[in-house]
Structure formats: structure tokens, C-alpha cells
Structure 1
């Protein structure tokens, strides 16, 4: 009984602590607030309020607060450097352990079928392209705590190429891929590969998001043949490790790509062009390249993530479009070809 009472009091204390902040409002010039809370504590309370965080005990509160402060220090140290091309910032992942954060990664590296690799003729086309402005990209989605990034990358490229082939933008079902593509080697929330998703969609057309909605957990496959909407005809593995080849592929439509995203640079990314090697090239996350452009003379790829619009730059990240293979983005690009209706 005493233990239950102490936990309850701890929870009440945390709630009261947060409520006091919420009532006061976050104002760096508020002298009373500055006397009670350190600047880091104020940032943590702002974070709790903004993201609707709640912690069951005082111990968990303190644990999350320490994680937050550690991440905040990394963010400030990076942003204080001269000449950095990208910014880090506090987001919904700022109180997570590395293990918790990595649950959102789920790309399983595979050897590419060399018969699928295609060299694309370089083009002297536009210096910039953004498939979002052309109507070929659906809204930013959120995979939650399921390692289903590969399915979002795959549906994104299928959605884009279906728009270009059949003149209709339809949000497609990631959950169908999570539940039903094990025969192709995918493992649902434990990871998968975009090419394997394309192979599944060659055999079984995808249903819409509305007909087969996302759950964020592994579930029983329940395909309804009467609701099948978009079918893949084939897919292309783009010649790897060549920025011009990925640019050539992007001139044809959105492209599924794999990157390394397990470092703090990605966990806390807020904006700008990632243009250094600190994110690594050990592929663990599937995302969608939707265009390219330049920022201050630095060429970049526009990349759609699946962590919701409250991550990064409204759900997107810019990665340098050079042959340095930043974050591994040039390692395994691929895109589908769609059955025309």
C-alpha cells in the first residue's frame, strides 16, 4: 500500500510540475519561471507540453529528463559550430533511448538482383525537380513504433509512379505489405526491403489506405481481391553509388532509397542539407526520394520520411546529392513500373 501511495504521489508531483509550467507559459523573460526552473528544465517542460508526454513515476520523469538534457546538449553543440549546413532541434524523439528510437528503423539489407540493375542515360533536364509540386506525392505518414519504414518507402514510389502512369494519386496500404509479404522475405514490423515489396505488388495489387488502413503492428493478411487498386508490372534497381544515376531516376518519378538513420544527426534533424559523413552508410532505414535541388550552391536530394510531419522539415530531409554517398542514399535506389489501366 505504501509503495502504491508513493508512486501515486510521484505521478501527482510530475503532473503538478508540468501544470505549473503550462499555466505560466513558456517565456524566457519570466523572472519567476527562471528562478524556479533552469533553462534546460524549462526546455524539458516545454517539450512535455508540446508533445503530450506523460511519465508514470518520478523515477521515469527523471530518467527521461536526463535523456532529454543529453540530447539537448548534443543539439546545442552541433548548432554552435561554424559553417554547418544543417540544423538539429528538439523533437518527439528527444527523450528516447537509442534502442527506443531505433524501433522506427526496419530496413533489411539484401543483395540486389543484378539482372534488375539498369543504367539510365544522363539527362540535361531541369536543375531542380520536386514531385510534391507535380501532385505525385501523398501526405507525410507516420509508421509509429513498427519497423515498417520499407513499406512506406515502397508505397510512396508506387503511389508516385501510379500517378504518372494512371493520372491518379491514391494513398496505398502499407499495412497490406506488413501483413502479407512474408513470402517475398519481408518481416512486417521487424523489417523488410522495398524490392521485396515490389515483388509482392507484382503478384498481388495493393489496396488503398482507406480500404486496408495502417495499424502499426503485425496482423493477419486479409486481402480483398475486389478492392485491389494498383499493380506493379516490374521494378528497376538504379545503378548504385552514382549521384547522376539517382538524379536520372528522379526525372522519371519518386525513387525508393535506403539510408543509415540510427545516429543523432537523424534523430534530431530539423532542417538544412546533411552534407557530411556523420550519419554513416550502414543501411537501416527505407525512405523516399521525391526530387532534387540546390541550396547555397550545395546540390541535395529531397527525401520524404515516415515519422510524421512533426519530424525534420515538415517530415522531409535534404541529403547532399554528391558521389560521397551521404547517409548511404546512393547504395540501393529502386523504383517500380506500374500496370497501366
Structure 2
């Protein structure tokens, strides 16, 4: 009997010695499955091991929170589960409230007052998605342009409510061109975006000026393609949840929040109640409100793709008794005003110029061959940055239509006047850009 006890004790000791290895193996398998689900890969085995350690830390945060059993929301190993919180904050936030003022309140460009929406007229619940006023969830990527997504979402909503047409608007135009105060991927504020659209008399569509997830040079001709216009915007009073509800009952509303806490990063579902800071660093869109089991909540549309939260959305507690609201949501809210029809539909943007089956030049450019095979088959094309240009025989230069004669010795483009006179004109244009 004593021998059996000794063997049993040895077995238990060996079993406990194996537990860390078992857990490590289990986490590694879970991480591999998570990587496959989210399409994650890493540049080296060292990087993978580093991300695995971070994943395990976030796993512990998730299991500790969900194990409490008394929370109104749950956490999950979402698309951000391999990021430490400091890296997450650096990449995915972007509301830039001036350091000199913890709350930015710009001068509203409208006297619109939503107090005309009487309390008795406000429905107990509302979801602008079901009314066709909300576009699909978008993904800002690692560009801190949440402010642009919140602003376009609010303008998309009011445009649909007024015109009946839901048009996805261009965040990239705001990132590239709205640079008077906002700073692209480095951050911005929704009010400044509304001001930009007012000054430009409209904004282009997402389809025509697509999102690239990085700062770029403003495409000037796109500024003239005004698909949707607004007539003003209104800032809601500070810490006034009643006004915020009146606004949300009338249209989707842009709000600033604090989105930097680990619980926000790893949010999965349920009614998010914090705790979280009220230092504003992220922008989202209120697209409705509702209640569940006696708890009121906002429906928030985020811009982190559909692999975060409830397919890209969050339910955040409201009517909590805190003036600033959960994560400061009652602190910086605004919405665009629209009363006028949109500008006339602009003509379609010219497509690329096709040189061959596989090669193209940009719209407004001319294809010129730079390498002929036996004088019959072009093996390489280059682009002349002039529409309907004349390609010079040296295969290096081009001339505009109004100066169509190539003088490669003097590096000039000429035109003939009358029967015999040749007038000197512009310098030869060089075909310096390869067709793609």
C-alpha cells in the first residue's frame, strides 16, 4: 500500500510539472488558430514568439474579465489580440483635441436647434441602420483617421435622410486635402472636416476617391467632384445627454470618446460600461440607441473593420448618471446640417489610357512606344504627360498637338505657320514615366 501511495504522489508531482507546458502548448495552438482566422503572419520566428507572448497576456485579460460574471459586456481575442495596449493606442486612435483645451468647441456653422424634437416625439429605441442611413463598416487600418470616418458617417447619414440616397463618402479626400487644421493619419477633429466640406462646397465619393490607409498628396481635380454637400454643422452643449439623445433621434451624430483602454481594445459584445478614461482620443458615430434588461445604451459605429466588437459596432451604456458619460461620450458631439440639394452630378472621371492589353497610362496622358521590335511590335511603352500628344521618332520625347513637330537636335517642339514658316515653340517633353 505504501508503494502505491508513493507512486501516486510521484504521478501528481509529474502532472503539476507538466501543467505549464500543457498551458503553453494550448495557448500556442490557440494562437495558431487565431492567426489563421485573422490572416496574420510574421516576418520571423522571433517576431512570432513576441506576438505569442503578447497574445497570452491579452488572453489572461480576457479570461480574467469574463470570469467575473458580473459585467454587462464580454471581451474576446479579436483582431487586436496580438497588440500590446501601447502599440494599439499608437496605431488605431486619432482624435486630436488641442493640448491647450481638454474640450474643443468650434463655432457652429448653423443656428439649427434640435430642441424642436420634443421628448414625446423621441422613440424609445432607434437604429439608423434599419432606415438605410448607415453605410457598411469601414476599416481605417493603422492610419489615425477615425475623425474622417466619423465625419463622413455623419454626412452620409444626413444626406440619406434628406435625399433618400445613401452614398459612401471619401475619407481619403479629407486625409489628403483637409490640412488647414487636421493632420491626416496623425489625427484630426470632425468639426474641421465639416468646415472643409463647407468651404469646398461638397465632398467626393468613396468610389471615386478610394481610401488608401495612408497620407497622400491631394488630388486637386477630385475636389471639384462634389457628390454630397452640407449647409452647416452644430456642436452640442457640453455634457448634455438630453440634447445628444434629441440629436441621435434626428440623425447619426459624430462623437469623441476615449478608446484607448484594454477593455475597449478587446471588446467583443454586450453593453460596454467601462471603467475607462474620459480623455478623448478616438472618434466614432452614434447610429442609434436602445435598452436591454433595464440598461440603456448607444449604438456606436466604429472604423476598425468587422473583426472588432459586434461586427464593427459597440453598445455603450447611456443614462449612467455621469455628466460626461461613459468614456466621455457626452463631451464632444456634433452633427452636419443639410437643407439644400446636392450639386449637379459631375461628369465621370476619365479612365486610364490603354497602351496595350497589359499596359496603361494615367487619364489625360498619351502612350508612346520607347522600344520597337523590328519596327513592328512595341515591347515597352512610356507615358507622355500630355493628352493626344505626338510621339517623337527618337522614342524618347513627345510634343503637344499645337506644337506637333519634333526638333530633337534643339530639344524643341515646333509648329508650321503658313506653307513654309516654322515657328519655334515649346521644349520637348520627355517620356519619363513607364506605363504600368
For the pair 1:167 / 2:155, whether they are aligned, the reply is: no
Distance 2:55 2:215 in 1: 30
Aligned to 1:76: 63
Q: CA deviation at 1:118?
A: 7.2
CA contact (8 A) 2:95 2:188 kept: yes
Aligned to 1:337: 337
Aligned to 2:373: none
| C-alpha RMSD of matched pairs (Å) | 1.8
Report the TM-score, using the length of structure 1 for normalisation: 0.86
Aligned to 1:193: 189
Aligned to 2:429: none
Cα-to-partner distance string for 1:124-172 (whole Å, 9 max, x where unaligned): 2210000000000000000001000000000000000011111110000
Q: 1:155 aligns with which of 145, 152, 164?
A: 152
Cα-to-partner distance string for 1:87-137 (whole Å, 9 max, x where unaligned): 100011111122331211000115203566976425222100000000000
Q: Equivalent residues in 2 for 1:85-96 (5 A)?
A: 85-96=72-83
Q: Equivalent residues in 2 for 1:24-103 (5 A)?
A: 38-102=25-89, 103=91
Aligned length: 306
Cα-to-partner distance string for 1:280-334 (whole Å, 9 max, x where unaligned): 1110001000000001110000000000011100000011112421011110110
Select between 257-266 and 121-130 the one with higher mean Cα deviation. 121-130
Select between 207-216 and 104-113 the one with higher mean Cα deviation. 104-113
Q: Specify which structure has the higher proportion of strand.
A: 2
Aligned to 2:244: 246
Distance 2:224 2:105 in 1: 33
Distance 1:115 1:229 in 2: 23
Q: CA deviation at 1:240?
A: 2.2
Q: 1:113 aligns with which of 106, 121, 124?
A: 106
Aligned to 2:131: 134
| Cα 1:85–1:112 shift into 2, 3 Å | same
Runs of 5+ unmatched residues, structure 2: 1-20, 99-103, 342-436
CA contact (8 A) 2:112 2:337 kept: no
Aligned to 1:270: 268
Q: CA deviation at 1:279?
A: 1.9
Aligned to 1:178: 175
- Quick check: which has more Rg, 1 or 2? 2
CA contact (8 A) 1:106 1:285 kept: yes
Runs of 5+ unmatched residues, structure 1: 1-33
SS at match of 1:209: coil
Q: CA deviation at 1:40?
A: 1.7
Distance 1:259 1:313 in 2: 18
Q: Equivalent residues in 2 for 1:316-327 (5 A)?
A: 316-322=313-319, 323-324=321-322, 325-327=325-327
Q: CA deviation at 1:59?
A: 1.4
| Cα 1:137–1:36 shift into 2, 3 Å | closer
| Cα 1:109–1:35 shift into 2, 3 Å | closer
CA contact (8 A) 1:137 1:169 kept: yes
Aligned to 1:17: none
Cα-to-partner distance string for 1:224-268 (whole Å, 9 max, x where unaligned): 255211112100111221222111001110000010011111110
SS at match of 2:315: strand
Aligned to 1:294: 291
Distance 1:230 1:85 in 2: 39
Distance 2:60 2:30 in 1: 12
